[in-house]
Structure formats: C-alpha cells, structure tokens
Structure 1
C-alpha cells in the first residue's frame, strides 16, 4: 500500500531538473575554442596583410585540425573516466567478497554521516548485504562518488565537441568568404564574432547557472583580447 502511494506521489510530482550537463559542457568547450582560435588566427593573418583567400584557406585548415584535436581530446577524457570507473568497480566487487564486514561497516559510517542512528541504519546495512548488486551500486555512488558512465559517452563527447568547434570556427571566417578585401573583411569578422561571443556567453551563463550578462561580457572580452593580441603580434613581426 505504501509503495503504491509513493509511486502515485512520484508520478504526480515531476521535478524539472536540467540533466544535459555533459552535453552542454562539450558544446561550451567546442564553441568557445571554435570562436576564439580561428578568430585570433584570422585577425593575425589580417595584421600580416594576407589576402582573404589565404585567410580562408588557413582558417579552414585550422578548423579541421582543431576539430579533430578537440574531438580526440574529448574522446580520451571520457574514455579515461569510463576506464577509471571500471577499475574502481572491480576493486569494490573484490572487497565486498573478501572483506564483507569491513564494507558493511563503511556503509554504516556513510549513513551515520547523514545523521542516521545505528538502530535506523542497521536494517539498511543488512538489506544491502543480501543484495550484492545494490550494495555495489551504493558503494560506488556514496563511498567513491562515482556515477556509472554512459558507454556511448566517449564517442558522443568527441562528436559534440568537434561539431561545436566547426560551427564556432565558421563564424569569424564567414566574412572573409564574402569579402575579398581583407581590410574590410577583418572589420566585419570582428563585429560578427563579437556578437556571436556575446550571444554564446549569455547562453553559457544561462545554462551553467552563472550571471548571463556577466558571462557574455567575460566571454566577449577574452575573445577580443585574443584577437587583438594576435593582430598586434603579426604587425610587430611584420615590422
């Protein structure tokens, strides 16, 4: 009866939590670098008096290399996380079999940290000892703080970061594709990219829980500094 009541209450109450944090993180990584790096490269080449055609060619090459590199980095990071989880899972399985009393004491200690009294957590400890899989899941989550990773996570992360990088990188190069005069194209690129950085920064702040306007200004400032530094360096080297 109590179980049916709880199920009914849960069905009636739907919490609206944001659960796509990993995807958003990958998009942020890809777009932020995609906007900033090709933007700085294009500005630097403009400072060196390169033509629009040369800037587009170099920019496309950089976007391709950057997307592959960033995607591979995302894949390796997610794969390492998955491998770490599996190693810890195997170790925890062995400990539950080899030293069950010690592991049960650890369960009791974890529950006591939440203010649960011995007479309250003893039935929980005993119930977990009768269910090895639930016991293992409990230890992984509450002792080690590890969530089981999605087996598709590594490839999804790689693809998300790479695509986001490409989409971000196209923005600063687009004016050079339309305007043959590099001096005019660089001004258009600056305007378009700064607007894109403002929008992206605002969206990043919204999804990550920080102040959207501050995030927009901060993201735009970083992109502007990177491009200005690249442009100035190119002018300095050129003499």
Structure 2
C-alpha cells in the first residue's frame, strides 16, 4: 500500500510491529487461559482435600494437558492459515506470470478505490511493480506480506510457554500456602493476576481497560467459585 508522507510522519511503525503486537496479545491470552484453567482445577481439588499431593498432581496434570492442547490447537490452526496464504500467493504468482497487464490494471483500480486519482494510482502501481510486483500485489489484493507468513511451530511453542507460565502461578500459590489460607489467598492472587492480564490485553488492543479487567477477573472468579463448589460436593460425597 502506498501511504502519503503525512501518514508516515504521523504514525511511524517499524516493519513487523503489527505482528509483534499480535504475538504479545496471544501470549497474554495464553497466560490468562493457563491461570484460569489451572486455578479452577487446584481450587476444586483443594476444596475436596487438604492433602498437598493430590492437589499438586491434579495441577501438574492440568498444566501439562492444557499446554499440549494449546500447542496442538495453535499448530493446526496456524498451519491451516499458512497453507491458505501459500495457496493464495501461488495463485497470485501465476496470474502475474500469465496476465501481467490485467494484474497491473487491477492494482491501479485498487489504489483508485482507496481514493487516489487515476494518474497518481497509475504512478504508484508503476513504482511498486518496478520495485517488487509480487509483493505489491500480495499486499494490495490479499493483505499478505510474503516475507512474514505465519509460523505454526512458533505459534505452538509460544502458546505452550505462555499457558505454562500462567498455570504456574495458581499451582505454586495453592501448594506453598498453609492449608487454612491456600484457597482464599490463591483466589486473591489469581484475581490480581487476571486483572493484570486484562489490563495488558486492553492496552495492547487499545480497548476499554476497566471493562477488560472486569470481564477477565469476573470470569476467573466465577470459574474458581464453580469448581470450589463442585470440589466441596464431590469431597463430601466421596468422604
């Protein structure tokens, strides 16, 4: 896309900034999932027993299962996206090879539709085509940067790591705290951590901070309350 000089001076962005923000947002969301799911498990088990061993076992099992599930899900999802992007790029490459004039006219029409005059749109298309015709068409027509295709392995590892980091907080809290304080203090610690992840995700996404913090914290609190209640019921029934 061709931007005016004013756009570049008013809103400078380094190459890949959007992708980095997306990865940061995904990392925060992965950590949030790890906190909520693991907190729900350990609080539920702690409601049924005061023994550390079953709480720790359940927490580690939940952490491992959640991290693997997140990694596999992200790998499959991003692999599908990458395959789609590559197919679209291959098609565009073939059209540029077989129909260069039609593709050039299409590029001019795209920039005219964005508000440029016919003469300016043609000049922009000429300069972009001379510089890198394939990249110009991929970005303008498909919204894809051929040099920055999504990486399924990177996504999978990032999701697993962020989930694990988030899951460690409630797991360590409930295992290390005294039996009479572990549930209420873990509840407080988890809510504070969720408020932080909500704040970060809102700031990164330029969303409403109070609303994001309230939504994430309330969701985690409800999850812990539900699993705590289930733990009490199951613990009493088994006992």
TM-score band w.r.t. shorter chain = 0.7 to 0.9
Report the CA distance between 1:136 and its aligned residue: 1.6
- The residue that corresponds to 2:176 in the other structure is 178
Q: Structure 1 length as normaliser, TM-score?
A: 0.82
Q: Structure 2 length as normaliser, TM-score?
A: 0.82
Report the CA distance between 1:153 and its aligned residue: 3.1
- The residue that corresponds to 2:160 in the other structure is 162
Query: Which aligned pairs between 1:84-163 and structure 2 lie closer than 5 A?
Result: 84-127=84-127, 131=130, 134-148=132-146, 150=148, 153-163=151-161
- The residue that corresponds to 2:62 in the other structure is 62
* Comparing 62-71 and 207-216, the one that deviates more: 207-216
Aligned length: 227
Q: 1:122 to 1:197 in 2, by over 3 A?
A: closer
Counterpart Cα distance in 2 of 1:195 and 1:122? 55
Cα distance per residue 1:5-26 (max 9 Å; x no partner): x9xxx8x999367542122122
Cα distance per residue 1:126-157 (max 9 Å; x no partner): 4555x4x7222121111112233646833322
Q: 1:120 to 1:173 in 2, by over 3 A?
A: closer
Report if the CA contact (8 A) 2:92-2:137 is conserved.
Answer: yes
Report the CA distance between 1:96 and its aligned residue: 1.4
Structure 1: which 5+ residue stretches go unaligned?
1-5
Report if the CA contact (8 A) 1:40-1:227 is conserved.
Answer: yes
Report if the CA contact (8 A) 1:201-1:220 is conserved.
Answer: yes
Counterpart Cα distance in 2 of 1:225 and 1:94? 53
Report the CA distance between 1:52 and its aligned residue: 2.3
Q: 1:74 to 1:135 in 2, by over 3 A?
A: same
Report if the CA contact (8 A) 1:53-1:176 is conserved.
Answer: no
Is the aligned partner of 1:200 residue 2:232? no
- The residue that corresponds to 2:47 in the other structure is 47
Report the CA distance between 1:160 and its aligned residue: 1.9
Report the CA distance between 1:221 and its aligned residue: 0.5
Report if the CA contact (8 A) 1:40-1:226 is conserved.
Answer: yes
- The residue that corresponds to 1:3 in the other structure is none
Counterpart Cα distance in 2 of 1:125 and 1:172? 55
Q: 1:86 to 1:231 in 2, by over 3 A?
A: same
Report the CA distance between 1:58 and its aligned residue: 0.9
Report if the CA contact (8 A) 1:51-1:180 is conserved.
Answer: no
Report the CA distance between 1:41 and its aligned residue: 0.8
Is the aligned partner of 1:189 residue 2:186? yes
Report the CA distance between 1:185 and its aligned residue: 1.6
